[in-house]
């Protein structure tokens, strides 16, 4: 009987501890998304140039978030240009890689990168130049 009482007391303590931890980090009933630090996305370079059939162009992407993960989407890429996002091991910042195949139309484009992380969204644009193939 004594061991059951000790087990119940330990479970109650762990439950109360978990509840207080959740309330303290804003994850409990009293927290709100409005109190979170807003996420941001930026690029240290503003222009990326790719050549059809040429090497991959890689640029850093800086993402500040309370989460270690992010969903990165890019809109406005021309046909024939592929993108690749690689996050770092410890946060969502990382790199974006771009390659262009022979069907990519030369020109200047303004793709928009949208990042979803920690229940929030942020966007930034950059200039993409598809050079004439050589």
Q: Where are the domains of the chain?
A: 2-31, 35-130
Tell me, what's the pLDDT at 34? 57
Tell me, what's the pLDDT at 38? 92
Tell me, what's the pLDDT at 31? 38
* Pairwise CA distance, residues 123 & 118, whole Å: 14
| Helix, strand and coil in the chain, % to nearest 5 | 20, 40, 40
- Tell me which CATH code domain 35-130 carries: 2.60.40.10
Tell me, what's the pLDDT at 118? 92
Tell me, what's the pLDDT at 11? 42
Chunked into runs of 10 residues, the chain (134 residues) has average pLDDT values of 45 42 40 70 96 95 93 96 92 95 96 96 97 83
Tell me, what's the pLDDT at 12? 44
Q: What is the pTM of this model?
A: 0.71
* Pairwise CA distance, residues 17 & 92, whole Å: 30
């Amino acid at each position: 009987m004594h061991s059951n009482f000790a087990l119940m007391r330990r479970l109650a303590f762990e439950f109360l501890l978990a509840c207080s931890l959740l309330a303290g980090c804003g994850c409990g009933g009293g927290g709100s998304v409005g109190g979170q630090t807003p996420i941001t996305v930026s690029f240290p370079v503003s222009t990326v140039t790719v050549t059809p059939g040429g090497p991959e162009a890689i640029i850093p992407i800086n993402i500040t978030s309370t989460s270690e993960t992010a969903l990165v989407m890019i809109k406005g890429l021309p046909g024939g240009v592929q993108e690749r996002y690689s996050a770092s091991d410890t946060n969502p910042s990382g790199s974006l890689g771009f390659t262009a195949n022979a069907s990519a139309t030369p020109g200047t484009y303004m793709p928009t990168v949208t990042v979803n992380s920690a229940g929030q969204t942020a966007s930034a644009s950059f200039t993409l130049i598809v050079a004439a193939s050589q």
